[in-house]
Amino acid sequence: MTYSASSSMLLLGATAILSTLLVNAASISPRRVPLWRRENDPNWKARGVSTGGWLLLESWIKPSLFEQFTNMPGFPGDEWSFCQQLGKVDAANQLRKHWDSFYTADDFHQMASYGLNLARISIGYWAFEVRDDEPFVQGAEEYLDRAIGWARDAGLSVWVDLHAVAGGQNGFDNCGRRGSLLWGTGDTLARTYVVINKIIEKYTAPGFSDVVIAIEFVNEPVANRIGIEIVKDYYENASSTLRSKSSTTSGVIHDGFMGVRSWDDFHPRSDKLILDVHIYQVFGDQVYLTPEQHVAAACAFAPTLKEASQFHNIVVGEFSNAMTDCTRWLNNFLLGARYDGTLSGFSSAGSCARNSDPASYDAVQMRRFFEAQIQAYEKTDGWIFWTWKTEASPEWDFSEGVRLGWIPQPLNDLKYKPCGDI
């Protein structure tokens, strides 16, 4: 998950729509509880983390892999350019070392020990299908399978997330090729159906279906650029395929930055679909908010999310503890930040010099912000923090947040309850 300066308006637009949602809940028949509640525990909520930067590279999460390209102005800093620049042999060697070391079984056991119950594992289409003229290296599928086994051993469930599709669904580096937004043209949809069908066929079968409770059909498609009907048709077809294979695995659709009300008529109140909403406060003018204003903004989502949940089962599938965009390369490889004015078009609100130093943060402010978000997002069917670990970005790092006391242990030990009794 990263966003360019131009994409920030998309996120702000989606946030604005979500923030102003007004629903007369009394006039709406209750939606059915999601499959995972009916099949497991009626009180079960997703409380998870993502494995960002592992099976799909993002330079800001694992910058050590991209240091070798810092003397190349204009280098995109995505997985396509990583593999293209190194060549398949060298890229494969570096990726194997990264896949072997960045996550291990110990990570999944530690997730469970922190009270988490779900891992959202992101992967690109090229793990399952790649053309000869594409530089991508295959092999990540093997590690996804390992991770599902590790999750089983740790007592975690898994949400398989198709994070990147052929052609690129958003133009962000997290779609595999920065600047590419061609999904829905040429043969890109046909290729995506091949991949999602493989994922559904494999991970709803015995040997995986006891752990994989959800499959996300595509992460963060920019629906108003691709075409909302193209996205809806894809969701419809992927949902039908999933239902033909499994009566227990939930399908996940992202809101496409259109806002949750845009999906009211798409299988409303279904127990078989989860609507994935991503909420960040750093990809636009929100970086200029004070810590308490960030807390208030988080609390303000609570009634909106509760009301919107009358239409769909909703999970806040990405959020973080970041209040600035200071993390190195967060806004794309070699680009600066809004907060310190080093990203073109933005004025400085302060310094990013000590962003990677945990001692530079106010622990009480960080704890209050996390608690506010959890209070708000628990009004849905759960939440998933982005991400479990990073190399040098504590506010995006769940494991580091626990160590620093920013994230409560146990998770329901809310010391401040900044949203009050909502």
Torsion, CA 386, CA 217, CA 252, CA 61, rounded to 10: 0
DSSP H helices in 155-275: 188-203, 223-226, 228-245
Which pTM does this prediction carry?
A: 0.92
Residue whose token pair is 């190399």? 391
Contact in structure between 394 and 361 (CB atoms under 8 Å): yes
Residue 80 near residue 377, CB atoms below 8 Å: no
Which two structure tokens, joined as six digits, stand for 377? 């997002």
Q: Is 236 a catalytic residue?
A: no
Nearest Cα residue to 418 out of 363, 367, 350, 382 = 367
The end-to-end CA distance of the chain, in Å, is 30
DSSP annotation of 47: E
Cα 191 off chain centre by: 22
Among 184, 187, 183, which Cα is nearest to 172's? Answer: 183
pLDDT of residue 260: 78
Q: Which of 238, 309, 307 is nearest to 275 (CA)?
A: 309
What backbone phi and psi angles, to 5 degrees, belong to 388? Answer: -65, -45
| Residue 106 Cα distances to 3, 103, 109, angstroms | 30, 8, 5
Cα 315 → chain centroid: 11
Instruction: Please pick, among 58, 79, 318, 378, the residue that the annotation labels catalytic.
Output: 318
pLDDT of residue 261: 75
Angle between helices 79-86 and 88-102 (to 10 degrees): 130
Cis peptide before 410, with omega less than 30 degrees from 0? yes
Q: What is the pLDDT of residue 251?
A: 97
Q: What is the pLDDT of residue 49?
A: 98
The CB-side HSE value for 60 (13 A sphere, CA atoms) comes to: 29
Residue from 58, 79, 216, 220 carrying the catalytic annotation:
220
d(CA 414, CA 370): 10
Eight-class DSSP state of 87: -
* Digitized pLDDT (tens) for each residue of the chain, 422 residues in all: 544 444 433 343 434 433 433 333 333 344 456 776 655 677 789 999 999 999 999 999 999 999 999 999 999 999 999 999 999 999 999 999 999 999 999 999 999 999 999 999 999 999 999 999 999 999 999 999 999 999 999 999 999 999 999 999 999 999 999 999 999 999 999 999 999 999 999 999 999 999 999 999 999 999 999 999 999 999 999 999 999 999 999 999 999 999 877 888 888 878 889 999 999 999 999 999 999 999 999 999 999 898 888 889 999 999 999 999 999 999 999 999 999 999 999 999 999 999 999 999 999 999 999 999 999 999 999 999 999 999 999 999 999 999 999 999 999 999 999 999 98
Q: Is 275 helix (H, G, I), strand (E, B) or coil?
A: strand
Q: Give the distance, in angstroms, between the CA of residue 162 and the centroid of all CA atoms in the same chain.
A: 10
Cβ contact 106:36 at 8 Å: no
Catalytic (active site) residue 229? no
Q: Hey, what domains does the chain have and what are their CATH numbers?
A: 8-403 (3.20.20.80)
The pLDDT assigned to 280 comes to 97
In the chain, the amino acid numbered 31 is R
Query: How far, in Å, CA of 4 to CA of 173, rounded?
Result: 9
The span from the CA of 78 to the CA of 96, in Å, is: 17
Closest CA to 204 of 167, 170, 160, 151: 160
